[in-house]
Amino acid sequence: MKKYEFPKNFLWGVATAAAQVEGAAYEDGRGPSIWDAFSHIPGKILNGDLPDVACDQYHLYEEDIRRMKEMGIKSYRFSFSWSRILPEGTGEINEAGLDYYRRMITCLRENGIVPNATMYHWDLPYALQVKGGFGNRDIIKWFLEYAEILLDNFGDMVDIWATFNEPIAVYVGHANGFFAPGLKDEKYARQCIHNLMVCHGETVKLFRKKQLKSAKIGIVVDVWPHKPAHPGRENDEQMALYKNEIAGYGMFLHPLFLGGYSEILMKYMKENDLMPRIEEGDFDTMCQKVDFYGLNFYNGLIDDAEKPEKKRRREKQGGNFQDTREYHQEALWDVLHMLKEKYKINVPIYLTENGYCTEGEADRETMLDDQVRIDYLEKILYWLNRSIQDGIDVRGYYVWSLLDNFEWSGGFYKRFGLFYTGYETLERIPKKSAGWYADVIRNNGIETDKFD
């Protein structure tokens, strides 16, 4: 059988986010986040699911870390809950919140698992949303206050820092309302994104001032590449261009790596009266040199303007999906090459999220026997390996997710975990994919004849 080996010291990981796994939403002084507020509005979350308890990792983190250790996982990507640390978003610090993260990170380190932490994974303190959230330029000041607390407390305990996870979620939450805070105002959404990107740049500057010994900082941007179903057909080309440059990854990668907004985006914003307020120096701030780029990748999509996007079934809402409009794993190769060629990204890349969801109506035994997930992940690793062979500097790979968790508007229905979570009992049961991934890590690669 053919062996596809990964570089020495390749960082095999798993990822989660605070709002999706921690639970303990109202314990030990934590303040509410926009996702707590949003999820309590009837009709916003599939089946009315609530993140109040989720996987209860707040109490069960030692158990989860033990499982990771048993699997040989080398790095855990998690996020901080801003409102657990600053219940009001700014001002008074909740020591119990800091204490939780100190215990959790220490436990990771004691088990030889590299902490990879995201400062912001979508859960703004509700108290700040009331003041306008990301649309209020004061967010820069608020975010820096929060970031400084994180860096002063955990700076060198965390090896890999990301300022933001998938900023597009902030756009979605303000432009079309599928995510918290649930607004539908594209102009405001564009201002939010602009301010967010300045927050990112200012945080990188702050990070440099702290002169931490070994920690690195970057940002995580998801890429869903769109390509026209019929290359050359005007409608399809336009559709893909819009999805890539105006309402997709171009919004972020251009200002981060090339400087400023792309011409296409500027033109679109001007013509549609969507221009954000831009202050002098903002574009320089946004493109601070980062130490790494975190890519979240799930699938690519094919745009056929004559067969408009089927209204996705409501059950499918909430993030990532697999359907016929997609082209799958080979799209990863396209993306990794595009990052290098188009955006000139020359810093190390981590694949900070990749995963496969199955849906909640199956019985437990079926969910545990998740060969479909293994097949998907294995093929991803094949294309990742090929990209690395081509000279793309990818240093690590994180499966989304360690365990089934609160999938935003998709509630608990969508299951991405290597472990099955029983939400009544909070038990975690390894799926077949957990054993498979442990083997991948042990062998530092995959062995298969499927892709020759």
Q: Binders of ligand FCB among 358-387, rule CB under 6 A?
A: none
Type of residue at 93: I
The reply to whether 88 belongs to the active site is no
Q: Which two tokens stand for residue 312?
A: 């996705």
Residue 166 makes contact with ligand FCB by CB under 6 A: yes
- In the numeric block, the tokens 């794993």 are attached to 329
Binding range to ligand FCB, per CB under 6 A, among 128-136, 269-277, 400-408, 428-436: 400-408
User: Whole-number minimum distance, CB 137 to ligand FCB, in Å?
Assistant: 25
How far apart are CB 17 and ligand FCB at their closest, in Å?
A: 5
Q: Is 303 in the site for ligand FCB (CB under 6 A)?
A: no
What is the rounded CA–CA span in Å between residue 204 and residue 216? 10
| Binding of residue 404 to ligand FCB (CB under 6 A) | no
| The only residue of 17, 196, 198, 286 in contact with ligand FCB, by rule CB under 6 A | 17
CB of 405 to ligand FCB, least distance (A): 8
Residue tagged 């033990």 (tokens): 66
Restricting to residues 320-339, which ones interact with ligand FCB according to CB under 6 A?
A: 320
Burial class (CB in 10 A: 0-12, 13-18, 19+), 124: buried
Footprint on residues 214-243 left by ligand FCB (CB under 6 A):
222
Question: Angle 57-71/432-443 helices, nearest 10 degrees?
Answer: 50
Neighbour-count burial of 326, counting CB atoms closer than 10 A to its CB (0-12 exposed, 13-18 middle, 19+ buried): middle
Least distance (Å) between residue 320 CB and ligand FCB? 5
Beta-carbon contacts of 178 under 8 Å, excluding residues fewer than 6 positions away, are 172, 317, 318, 409
Cβ of residue 222: shortest distance to ligand FCB, in angstroms? 6
Instruction: Figure out which of the listed residues 38, 61, 142, 408 binds ligand FCB, where binding follows CB under 6 A.
Output: 408
Q: Which is nearer to ligand FCB, 4 or 356 (CB)?
A: 356
400 forms part of the interface with ligand FCB (CB under 6 A) = yes
* Among positions 188, 407, 433, 436, the unique one binding ligand FCB when judged by CB under 6 A: 407
The least CB distance from residue 130 to ligand FCB, in Å, is 24
Of 172 and 256, the one with the shorter C-beta distance to ligand FCB is 172
Min dist CB 413 to ligand FCB, Å, is 12
**What one-character DSSP code corresponds to residue 450?**
T
Q: Pick from 81, 129, 165, 288: which binds ligand FCB (CB under 6 A)?
A: 165
Please pick, from the candidates 133, 167, 201, 319, the single residue that binds ligand FCB as defined by CB under 6 A. Answer: 319
Residues 46-85 vs ligand FCB: string with x where CB under 6 A? ----------------------------------------
Closest CB to ligand FCB among 296 and 387?
A: 296
State the burial class of residue 304 (Cβ atoms within 10 Å of its Cβ: 0-12, 13-18, 19+): middle
Contact 417, 433 (CB under 8 A): no
Q: Binding to ligand FCB by residue 36, rule CB under 6 A?
A: no
**Catalytic residue, candidates 166, 245, 378, 407:** 166
CA distance 254 to 222: 13
Say if strands 216-222 and 226-228 run parallel, antiparallel, or are unpaired. Answer: unpaired
Q: Compute the CA torsion angle 376, 118, 251, 257 (nearest 10 deg).
A: -100
Assign residue 445 a region (left: φ > 0; alpha: ψ between -120 and 50; beta: otherwise).
left
DSSP H stretches of helix in 163-271: 168-175, 186-210, 234-241, 250-253, 263-271
Per CB under 6 A, the list member of 191, 296, 409, 433 interacting with ligand FCB is 296
Q: Catalytic: 353?
A: yes
Q: Which amino acid is at 214?
A: S
CA distance 99 to 137: 30
Residue 282 touching ligand FCB (CB under 6 A): no
- Min separation Cβ 214 and ligand FCB, Å: 26
**Nearest to ligand FCB of 81, 296 (CB atom):** 296
- The token pair at 406 is 């609160």
Q: Are 20 and 123 in contact (CB under 8 A)?
A: no
**Least distance CB 270 / ligand FCB (angstroms):** 30
The helix (H) or strand (E) run that includes residue 22 is none
Using the rule CB under 6 A, is 90 a contact of ligand FCB? no
CB 96 within 8 A of CB 24: no
DSSP of 127-146, one letter per residue? Answer: HHHTTTGGGSTTHHHHHHHH
Q: Quick one: 17 or 256, whose CB is closer to ligand FCB?
A: 17
Catalytic choice (22, 245, 353, 378): 353
Run of H or E residues at 423 = none
Is residue 417 part of the contact set for ligand FCB (CB under 6 A)? no
Which of the residues are catalytic?
166, 353
- In the complex, the residues that contact ligand FCB under the rule CB under 6 A are 17, 20, 165-166, 222, 296, 319-320, 353, 400, 407-408, 416
